[in-house]
């Protein structure tokens, strides 16, 4: 079974340096607006770099919010870490082989298309993000996206049934 990597609040020292000055007016900044994203994305990258997937080659990880921005950054991370001085291996290949994404609260068609192009539709699953987003909002959004009925069926449940062996 896969591991679900769920975001959480940044370390107090990080909050102090990066978020504290904004929390009075923007309390969600440290949470779902950005803090959760940065923390979960960082942990996803760290998992790849740590060699955990070399030690556990069949390990699969689910990352929410359409990959916490990582699909958008895959090319840059991969190219940068391929430069001399870095340990060998393709970050992109490791990430795309071991991570699955959920839509959970990231109901952006552009982000979905980017994720599909970078990861492939078979690695994306429908999810909400209650209480931050409603079931109705998420379902209506995905139903209205300009992707094929076959891809919608995979995202709406087919991919989860396959990955979770339901």
Strand order in 61-63's β-sheet? 3-5, 61-63, 99-102, 124-125
CA pair distance 76, 64, nearest whole angstrom: 21
Which of 81, 4, 68 has the alpha carbon at shortest distance from 37? 68
Is 67 within 8 Å of 35 (Cβ atoms)?
no
The residues assigned a catalytic role are 129
Helix (H, G, I), strand (E, B) or coil at 161: helix
Instruction: Name the strand (E) or helix (H) holding 98.
Output: helix 91-98
Greatest pairwise CA separation for the chain in angstroms? 48
What region does 69 belong to: left with phi over 0, alpha with psi -120 to 50, or beta? left
Q: Report the length, in residues, of the chain.
A: 166
């Amino acid at each position: 079974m896969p591991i679900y990597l769920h975001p959480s609040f940044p370390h107090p020292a990080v909050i102090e340096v990066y978020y504290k000055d904004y929390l009075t007016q923007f309390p969600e900044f440290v949470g779902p607006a950005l803090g959760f994203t940065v923390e979960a994305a960082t942990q996803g990258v760290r998992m790849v770099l740590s060699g955990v997937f070399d030690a556990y080659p069949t390990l699969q990880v689910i990352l929410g919010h359409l990959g916490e921005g990582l699909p958008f950054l895959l090319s840059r991370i991969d190219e940068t870490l391929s430069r001399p001085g870095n340990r060998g291996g393709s970050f992109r290949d490791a990430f795309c082989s071991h991570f699955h994404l959920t839509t959970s609260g990231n109901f952006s068609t552009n982000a979905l298309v980017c994720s599909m192009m970078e990861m492939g539709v078979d690695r994306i699953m429908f999810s909400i993000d209650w209480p931050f987003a409603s079931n109705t909002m998420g379902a209506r959004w995905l139903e209205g996206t300009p992707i094929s009925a076959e891809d919608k069926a995979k995202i709406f449940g087919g991919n989860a049934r396959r990955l979770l062996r339901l």
